[in-house]
Structure 1
Amino acid sequence: MTTEQREFQAETRQLLDLMVHSIYSNKDSFLRELISNASDALDKLRLESYRDKDLDVDVSDLHIEVDIDKEARTLTIRDNGIGMSRDEVIDLIGTLAKSGTAEVRKKLKEAKDAAASEELIGQFGIGFYSTFMVADKVTLLTRKAGEATATRWESSGEGTYEISDVDGAPQGSSVTLHLKPTDEEDHLYDYASESKIKQLVKKYSDFIAWPIRIDVEKRVKSEEEGAEDTVTIETETINSQKALWTRPKDEVSEEEYKEFYKHVSHAWDEPLEVIPFKAEGTFEYQALLFIPSQAPFDLFMREGKTGVHLYVKRVFIMDDSEELLPEYLRFIKGVVDAQDLSLNVSREILQQDRQIRAIRRRLTRKVLSTIKEMQSEHAEKYQTFWSQFGRALKEGLISDSDNRETLLTVSSFASTNSEEGLTTLAEYVDRMKDGQEQIYYMTGESRQQIESSPHMEAFKARGLEVLLLTDSVDEVWVGNVPDFDGKSFQSISKGEVDLDTEEEKKDAESKREEQGKEFEDLLKWMSETLSEDVKEVRLSSRLTTSPACVVGDEFSFSPQLEKMYKASGQFIPTSKRILELNPTHDLVTGLKKAREDRSDDPSLAETAELLYATALLAEGTELKDPAKFSRLLADRLTRTV
């Protein structure tokens, strides 16, 4: 047997160091992680035996064993499930096969208390490493179903691990923990105690569908006087194996729901909301879904896992079944147990299955109604939900037209009405001014950037509320949603803005006509001077203090949306926008007078370029030629010194 010593990735070494030398509030969690992994391995083996009839495996007695050696102080969790190949061991345990490793290390270091650190461990999918909280050394022996050679992996969590091939090992996996010594203060964590292990299995893993067995000593008192009692070894099953989703809600404790959520999601946070669901009739199925309280780190990563687990008559079929819920609800965890599907169902079949589509529609409506109820009755829970998953939920405004009204109703947005809180669209509409027919909004990279934008000036002056949309998805959905409650959405940075009342319009019209004649030459000259960059130069009705701003046509891309598309590698044709001037600003009136007095002065063209560039900077747009702008500004400042 050849043994090979390898080093962990640098990121993994630092992570292990944090795990080994940190103190966590609940060391017991490691056992739940190992039993959950064993349960998954058994699920996958049974499923593979259905799909591959040539696979030579025995599935007649699938189970999990817990073995304690008190003298050697070892604890072994063993299963006869699918097992792992050598490459899988290296990928899944020898390294962290996920992106985001640097982020988890950073957050673990920043975590202020043990509970926060513990939640992060599960959030980043690294539960296996929790074994090093209680063990000086961990040994894994595993043989994949259908393969002859097993793999042995061992590490003390100090930067290296040993890996070797082994012959004659049983199918499945066993994880042996060489437990750290206990002391008087640490007696609660004696994992070489049968009673302790039984207690933890009952607490964390009672619902596991497979039997969890342990050998216990039974002392039989001798009936003969003076004879010694006999000791026998009996095997006990220490979990009830009752599927939670088959039990009525009033028969399941809150603690049981919490532990099942942690099992099915491989997370360490607690569920924000539990959603049991039972459908009878044409299609019979049961579901037990959870809204997490914390978003996983890979929620917005392409490789992130999505979807819930699919069972057929309590037989595991697949995890991360994307077909059962729309992508924007990918944060939902749980199980769906259908009665009428084939055990040989594949992902391709699921995409076409009529029953799956019906289940998807009903589950989506159930989740959204739960969020709506949370919004109206549990404000604190809703705020937690929205802070974690609001950005993902808003993706549904683009892709799910059937549920768009509900999604609009349960969405919340920052607005100029409040410095900190969020508002719903219904609340916005209730506060609308008399005669206001549109929901005003502006998109941008931050609240501060939007609020300081010149486009906001007229709206602030009139006390008109504006939604402040700073998520990247906001750039897309506002162009796909026509209205809410009969009120259309209007960007304050696109198209013409007419905020005048009917009475004001009469005076404004004659004033604009007069200003139009007064500034006609300046507007024509600036349009020609800046023709390479702007579509038109016109007077503005939205500015009160800034000299100029740049606006788009009603259906043009915003600068942020253009930036998003370009960052993703998509070609976006360059579009010219409109430069609007404030006819009451000293810089604009001064430029008009200078044009009248010295129209052949070449420095006036530089002033026009600077005016346009400052308008771009004010809205957060990058300049096409920042070096030229810097040179022109420096030259202009030099003349004033």
Structure 2
Amino acid sequence: MEQRFRVDLRGVVDLLSQHLYSSPRVYARELLQNAADAITARRALAPDADPSPEPGRVVFEIDPDGTLRVHDNGVGLTEPEVHTFLASVGRTSKRDELGFARQDFLGQFGIGLLSCFMVADTIEVVSRSVTGTPAVHWTGHADGRYTVEVDDDARPTVGTTVTLRPRPGGGHWFAPEQVADLVRAYGHLLDVEVVRHAPDTAELRLTEPQAPWEVGHDDPEVRRSALLDYGAELLGSRPMDVIDLRVPEAGLVGVGFVLPTAGAIGPGGHRVYLKRMLLSENAVGLVPEWAFFVRCVVDTSVLRPTASREGLYDDDLLSRVQESLGGQIRDWLLDLSVHHPDRLAAFLRVHHLGVKALAVRDDEMLRLVDAGLPFETSRGTMTLRAFRRGGASVLRYAETVDEFRALAAIASAVGTPLVNAGYAYDTEILERLHRIDRSVTVRRLDPGELAARLEPLPAEQEAGLATFLGVARGVLAEFGCVPLIRQFDPVTVPALYVVSRRAHEQETVARDLAEADELWSDVLSAFAEVEIDHRPELVFNWRHPLIRRITAGPPGATLRHGIEALYGQALLAGHHPLRAVDTAALNRSFLALLDRAFAGPPAGTGALPAADPPPEENP
């Protein structure tokens, strides 16, 4: 047997207040929305159906006892329409039954009026239809009951009045200043006159004649300055620049403000109006993620809202809007590079990260980065284009900041200029340079190749260091490292720890093999079987005076501790991770060398330390 669902209205109201709407404050938006839609519906009527329409007007009237009445001169409702639309959850007076196009209206879901039950226990609606039928008085209660009566004297003119009386403890929602703030926040851009009447105060208009981006100026710079002032009111600080935005497909128009300070990467919140009614102050998904330096203020007539009317519905149209706005922001950046280089430089100082993110996928922005964004290199800070003009046939880069800092000076000394690609998007940008410059070859620096280019000692001189190298080989075997002696600049570097790419891969496989269980151990062992054993190298710099003194010393504990100390210092200087065995060796060598440096006669022998020499007298 077919049955109908029974709806517990209190449960529905609780669902709205706890899970759909973010705050009871939305009651003001829904009242304003219904009034504005009623006025839109009356405007849409043919002249013979409504021969003398009045200018749209909505009045929020607050009585001395706190009662709120909202009057509009919209299309009104007949008695059958009251039963159909006010007493049916999920139906809306903007549906096609009234004969109007759905996209002309703000509301879509038929649940807006129920939001008033979050601030009042009873809703009274008095409405007179433009069709000339008698006025209707509808009263709805939060427990699901409602009454309807025809009362031709209840309202003499066409339109609707909604009356709310605050529930206990909710009077603050109907305070005159609170009502004014809520209505102004949601509807200040509506193209109808909205006013507030309150006891002992003059009538207060709550809507503006034009949106800020609609105000025309003969001088573009004057308009830009006015929009920047508007942006300062919204953001709390004056934006760097303003971008006009327009997507006709979505009926979207507005502006984007370029933030004056660097912000976190991510989908920043935007102010979105739907048919000039505020939809959200923190909408996401409007622009691509790389455009996190822009905050938009836009009005749209086509994009769909979510059921709560506090966000945008994620559909194909929103994706196309995002793509279009991203293109407009990109065009603005390119225009800066051509016509306003000073503003571009100021922008790049703050928002270089967003530009680099765009350059990863856009060739035009890649050209902008190549020509205008400074990179850290072994020759100093310069643009990539200027770096290539130095004559290097191959552009080599260090993948991490630590690697660059450890190798930049040495790479420059051996004629291998180096770019620091250790920051966000740098590696991807360098790898894409061939798309705009076919002559460039980009390659990641292999520290092993760098070590191979360091100048070796003459064969007979290196043969004389066989004893030292033998001791070093024995000491470094514990750390999986081999010693080399080379001469290189800068002379301030006594030793350099170098891990070639192949050595790094071999070391990674060995570590994984040691930590793997029996099943994966058999799989990884196939990768561990290599014909050549590649190990990290500790390269001693023969040009450093300390290295010459150490190599001339006799074998023994002091030499071993010295080699361990140089090994640990090279790890730290190169920002390499320290294993437990490395930390133990560093501590052992440090304490042993300190002990030797401060060695003296045993305690209790009575020996006195030598006195400090007397200070020299001034001549």
Listed as ranges, the matches of 1:178-189 within 5 Å are: none
1:321 positional shift: 3.8
Q: Indicate the SS of the match to 2:242.
A: strand
Counterpart for residue 548 of structure 1: 495
1:635 aligns with 2:595: yes
1:411 aligns with 2:369: no
CA distance in 2, matches of 1:209, 1:519: 90
Counterpart for residue 456 of structure 1: 408
What TM-score, normalized to structure 1?
Answer: 0.51
Counterpart for residue 259 of structure 1: 229
1:499 positional shift: 9.9
Q: Kindly indicate whether the alpha-carbon contact (under 8 Å) linking 2:494 and 2:544 is maintained by their aligned counterparts in 1.
A: yes
CA distance in 1, matches of 2:288, 2:116: 34
- CA deviations 1:128-163 (Å, max 9, x no partner) are xxxxxxxxxxxxxxxx8542389xxxxxxxxxxxxx
Listed as ranges, the matches of 1:174-323 within 5 Å are: 174=177, 213=195, 234-236=203-205, 239-242=208-211, 244=213, 253-263=223-233, 266-280=234-248, 285-296=252-263, 299=264, 306-323=268-285
Q: Indicate the SS of the match to 1:278.
A: strand
Q: Kindly indicate whether the alpha-carbon contact (under 8 Å) linking 2:224 and 2:242 is maintained by their aligned counterparts in 1.
A: no
Q: How many residues align?
A: 423
1:423 aligns with 2:382: yes
Q: Kindly indicate whether the alpha-carbon contact (under 8 Å) linking 1:44 and 1:316 is maintained by their aligned counterparts in 2.
A: no
Q: Which amino acid aligns with 1:324?
A: L
Q: Indicate the SS of the match to 2:209.
A: coil
1:333 positional shift: 0.6
Q: Indicate the SS of the match to 2:447.
A: coil
Q: Kindly indicate whether the alpha-carbon contact (under 8 Å) linking 1:216 and 1:236 is maintained by their aligned counterparts in 2.
A: no
Q: 1:468 to 1:377 in 2, by over 3 A?
A: farther
- CA deviations 1:407-427 (Å, max 9, x no partner) are 743533244555xxx532222
Q: 1:262 to 1:593 in 2, by over 3 A?
A: same
CA distance in 2, matches of 1:257, 1:370: 16
Q: Identical aligned pairs, as a percentage? A: 16
Unaligned runs of 5+ in 1: 1-39, 50-55, 68-77, 81-143, 151-164, 178-200, 218-230, 559-574
CA distance in 2, matches of 1:542, 1:314: 69
Counterpart for residue 18 of structure 1: none
Q: Indicate the SS of the match to 2:257.
A: strand
One of 463, 472, 475 as aligned partner of 1:529: 475
Q: Which amino acid aligns with 2:229?
A: E
1:580 positional shift: 2.5
Q: Indicate the SS of the match to 2:572.
A: helix
1:354 positional shift: 3.0
1:147 aligns with 2:122: no
CA distance in 2, matches of 1:344, 1:350: 6
- CA deviations 1:27-47 (Å, max 9, x no partner) are xxxxxxxxxxxxx99996688
CA distance in 2, matches of 1:357, 1:207: 26
Counterpart for residue 401 of structure 2: 444
What is the RMSD of the two structures over their aligned residues, measured on CA atoms?
5.5
Unaligned runs of 5+ in 2: 1-21, 38-56, 62-67, 71-114, 122-167, 506-533, 601-608, 610-619
Listed as ranges, the matches of 1:296-375 within 5 Å are: 296=263, 299=264, 306-344=268-306, 353-375=315-337
- CA deviations 1:73-125 (Å, max 9, x no partner) are xxxxx999xxxxxxxxxxxxxxxxxxxxxxxxxxxxxxxxxxxxxxxxxxxxx
CA distance in 2, matches of 1:292, 1:249: 26
Q: Which amino acid aligns with 2:255?
A: L
CA distance in 2, matches of 1:556, 1:348: 55
CA distance in 1, matches of 2:461, 2:308: 69
One of 478, 490, 494 as aligned partner of 2:427: 478
Q: 1:556 to 1:292 in 2, by over 3 A?
A: farther
Counterpart for residue 487 of structure 1: 440
CA distance in 2, matches of 1:216, 1:172: 9
Q: Kindly indicate whether the alpha-carbon contact (under 8 Å) linking 2:256 and 2:297 is maintained by their aligned counterparts in 1.
A: yes
CA distance in 2, matches of 1:294, 1:170: 36
1:606 positional shift: 0.9
One of 543, 561, 572 as aligned partner of 1:584: 543
Counterpart for residue 194 of structure 1: none
Q: 1:354 to 1:215 in 2, by over 3 A?
A: closer
Q: 1:345 to 1:532 in 2, by over 3 A?
A: farther
1:289 positional shift: 1.1
Q: Indicate the SS of the match to 2:169.
A: strand
Q: Indicate the SS of the match to 2:305.
A: coil
CA distance in 2, matches of 1:345, 1:402: 40
1:609 positional shift: 1.0
CA distance in 2, matches of 1:551, 1:46: 68
CA distance in 1, matches of 2:170, 2:188: 34
Which of structures 1 and 2 has the bigger CA Rg? 2
Q: Kindly indicate whether the alpha-carbon contact (under 8 Å) linking 1:149 and 1:166 is maintained by their aligned counterparts in 2.
A: no
CA distance in 2, matches of 1:375, 1:332: 18
Counterpart for residue 349 of structure 2: 387
CA distance in 1, matches of 2:310, 2:499: 44
Q: Kindly indicate whether the alpha-carbon contact (under 8 Å) linking 1:64 and 1:212 is maintained by their aligned counterparts in 2.
A: yes
Q: 1:589 to 1:170 in 2, by over 3 A?
A: closer
Q: Kindly indicate whether the alpha-carbon contact (under 8 Å) linking 1:616 and 1:622 is maintained by their aligned counterparts in 2.
A: yes
CA distance in 1, matches of 2:536, 2:552: 25
Counterpart for residue 35 of structure 2: 60
Q: Indicate the SS of the match to 1:270.
A: coil
CA distance in 2, matches of 1:456, 1:397: 25
- CA deviations 1:362-412 (Å, max 9, x no partner) are 3223323423443454344333323322245445566x4777735743533
What TM-score, normalized to structure 2?
Answer: 0.53
CA distance in 2, matches of 1:395, 1:537: 42
Q: 1:317 to 1:175 in 2, by over 3 A?
A: closer
Q: Which amino acid aligns with 1:365?
A: G
Counterpart for residue 107 of structure 1: none
1:539 positional shift: 4.5
CA distance in 1, matches of 2:315, 2:214: 23
Q: Kindly indicate whether the alpha-carbon contact (under 8 Å) linking 1:145 and 1:172 is maintained by their aligned counterparts in 2.
A: no
Q: Which amino acid aligns with 2:119?
A: A
1:461 positional shift: 4.1
Q: 1:351 to 1:58 in 2, by over 3 A?
A: closer
Q: Which amino acid aligns with 1:631?
A: L
- CA deviations 1:404-459 (Å, max 9, x no partner) are 735743533244555xxx532222222x23x44214457537xxx97xx5633345
CA distance in 1, matches of 2:448, 2:569: 20
CA distance in 2, matches of 1:526, 1:60: 88
- CA deviations 1:285-321 (Å, max 9, x no partner) are 434212122235xx26xxx871434445445444444
Counterpart for residue 15 of structure 1: none
CA distance in 2, matches of 1:352, 1:477: 32
Q: Which amino acid aligns with 1:428?
A: F
Q: Which amino acid aligns with 1:478?
A: T
Q: 1:512 to 1:66 in 2, by over 3 A?
A: farther
CA distance in 2, matches of 1:42, 1:210: 24
Q: Which amino acid aligns with 1:602?
A: A
Q: Indicate the SS of the match to 1:580.
A: strand
